[in-house]
Amino acid sequence: MEVTTALASHTTPEVRSLLGDALLHELSHGLGGPYHVLFPERFDACAAAFRAVFAEAGVDGQVYFAKKANKAAVYVERAAVAGLGVDVASHGELREALAAGVRGEDLVVTGPAKADDLLRVAVLQGALIAVDALDELDRLIVLAAGLGRRARVLLRRLPAEQPHSRFGLDDGELAAALRRCVDGPVDMEGFSFHLSGYDVRQRTDLAAESIGWCTEARALGLRADRISVGGGFAVDYVDAEDWRRFEESSRPEHFHAGKSFGGFYPYHSPVAGADALRTILAAAPSGSGEGTTLAELLRSAGVTLLVEPGRALLDQAGFTVFRVQGVKDRDGYAVLTVDGSSLSLSEQWFDSEFLPDPVLVPGGAGPVADAGPYPACVGAATCLESDMLTWRKIPFPVRPAVGDLLVYLNTAGYQMDSNESPFHELPLPPKVVVEPSGSRFRWRLDRHPH
Ligand SMILES: *Cc1c(COP(=O)(O)O)cnc(C)c1O
């Protein structure tokens, strides 16, 4: 039968070396089920890359890690040590960030119609609050007055390019919000937005418009000296050529049960991570003076740029390990069953699939007859027909066998835990923090309480 395109995941030298290390099988045996591996050093490196772009562009900038992308404690602990900010959207996330050592003033609280107790702690901690609606601003003003404090506020914009978004204030509401900020116990520090999608052009343009809003706000006597362009810095998972071939050739027959999906994350992105920030800063916004870059506009207006990357700070900062516990032959391909569920690989829960090919790490020591490819899909150890980790018939280079490990690479951004539950009384996969130590690796469990 016709075989599907391979979509080999990008890796790092640490990942490659760990894939060949006995530690992976050791941990699978010792932990008795699937687990996630976390690389904190990689998080540090991604954050440093964003900061380097600000320094290089001569722009005053601040990086806030969007915590919702992963629940582990270790990344927030590293953020605290590095002096990064953290973007939180719930009382629980705020508590975790404070406990990891992030200072209140380094938090930005986002999300719609935030509950009073979240707003109260945010005010008491001096956190920046991205206000999403007029009624939320009114509640915040009453609350801050009651506490005898001032609230630090950004006003979140509803982007004209995404008029159906349920987030943010439209231009009329923004004008009303500014008037209320003038009279209230509020330090109005600027504006924010967060776009879905990865378009860099839109972000440059919206940032420039937001600088214009800062000028209007300042005319009312407000501080308005920072803007947040939110997150949405793409991650590049696979090569351009593989991705192009996949997109051109993909058909329902390439998936178990002829499954088709609404769409996929753009797993190849020519401009990703900190490079996307570099591109946004170096572009000249449409309608600005000829050739004036966003970086220049920010400098001359004295405006600080905040970014809130989630996924991009976690690029290659972790992977997820399952053990093959069954191999069943079907017509021209195999159905693998692994010792966990798609709850630990979240993309399925958005009517989509995490496409980069998992790496097979053989369990047996026997010689591997390499007469592949051996196409196989990957099912969960649950009783749900639809609980598949991968519907696509992945072209494995060797025949998968019981006891092999299946390693999904680059899963730290959103894949690991956003949907995990102890369904079927299956334990939640533990998170293992792995750091190189001389020629070996050292590991410990992450501190986040399940
Ligand atoms: C989710 C979110 C982010 C992070 O988005 P990424 O795509 O992971 O970079 C940043 N800001 C806000 C307001 C968000 O909701």
Kindly state the DSSP code that residue 9 receives in the 8-state scheme.
Answer: B
Q: Is the minimum distance from the CB of 68 to ligand 1 under 6 angstroms? A: yes
Asked if residues 363 and 281 have their Cβ atoms less than 8 Å apart, the reply is no
* Same-fold call for 13-39+316-445 versus 40-234+269-310: no
- At 348, the amino acid letter reads Q
CB atoms under 10 Å from CB of 165, counted, come to: 14
The correct answer on CATH 1.25.40.10 for the domain covering 40-234+269-310 is: no
**pLDDT tens-digit map of 157-166:** 999 989 999 9
Q: What is the pLDDT of residue 449?
A: 74
Second-level CATH architecture of 13-39+316-445: Beta Barrel (2.40)
Q: Please give the full DSSP string across 92-107, using - where no structure is assigned.
A: HHHHHHHHTT--GGGE
- DSSP codes joined into one string, 309-323: -SGGGGTTSEEEEEE
Ligand 1 centroid to 68 CA: how many Å?
8
Q: Please tell me if the CB atom of residue 233 comes closer than 6 angstroms to any atom of ligand 1.
A: yes
Task: List 305's β-bridge partners, or say none.
Answer: 61, 227
Alpha-carbon dihedral 266, 268, 270, 271, rounded to 10 degrees: 60
Would you say the CB of residue 311 lies under 6 angstroms from ligand 1? Answer: yes
Amino acid identity of 187?
D
Q: Helices (H), strands (E): how many in the chain?
A: 12, 17
List the residue whose alpha carbon is closest to atom 7 of ligand 1: 232
* Mean of per-residue pLDDT scores for the chain: 96
Residue listed under structure tokens 């639809």: 386
Q: How far apart are CA 161 and CA 171, in angstroms?
A: 13
Query: Which two three-digit tokens encode residue 321?
Result: 């390990």
The closest alpha carbon to 411, from 78, 69, 88, belongs to 69
Across the range 56-63, mean pLDDT stands at: 98
Quote the pLDDT of residue 370.
Answer: 65
66 lines ligand 1 (CB under 6 A): yes
Residues 6+ apart with CB under 8 A from 63: 47, 50, 51, 84, 85, 306, 307, 309, 313
Which residue is associated with the tokens 């810095």? 233
Candidate of 43, 63, 68 to mutate for ligand 1, largest count of ligand atoms within 8 Å of Cβ: 68
Among candidate residues 255, 265, 337, the one with its CA nearest the CA of residue 3: 255
Comparing CA positions, the residue from 11, 29, 7 lying closest to residue 19 is: 11
Question: Domain map of the chain by residue range?
Answer: 13-39+316-445, 40-234+269-310
Query: What tens digit of pLDDT does each residue of 261-310 get?
Result: 999 999 999 999 999 999 999 999 998 777 899 999 999 999 999 999 99
- How far is the centre of ligand 1, averaged over its atoms, from the C-alpha of 232 (Å)? 6
Q: Please choose from 86, 305, 308 the residue to mutate so as to test ligand 1's pocket, defined by most ligand atoms within 8 A of CB.
A: 308
Q: What residue type is assigned to position 207 of the chain?
A: A
Q: Where are the alpha helices (DSSP H) in 229-346?
A: 240-249, 273-282, 294-301
pLDDT one-digit tens code per residue, 103-149 = 999 999 999 999 999 999 999 999 999 999 999 999 999 999 999 99
Residue nearest to atom 10 of ligand 1 (CA): 231
Atom of ligand 1 nearest to the CA of 231: 9
For the Cβ of 255 lying below 6 angstroms from any atom of ligand 1, the answer is no
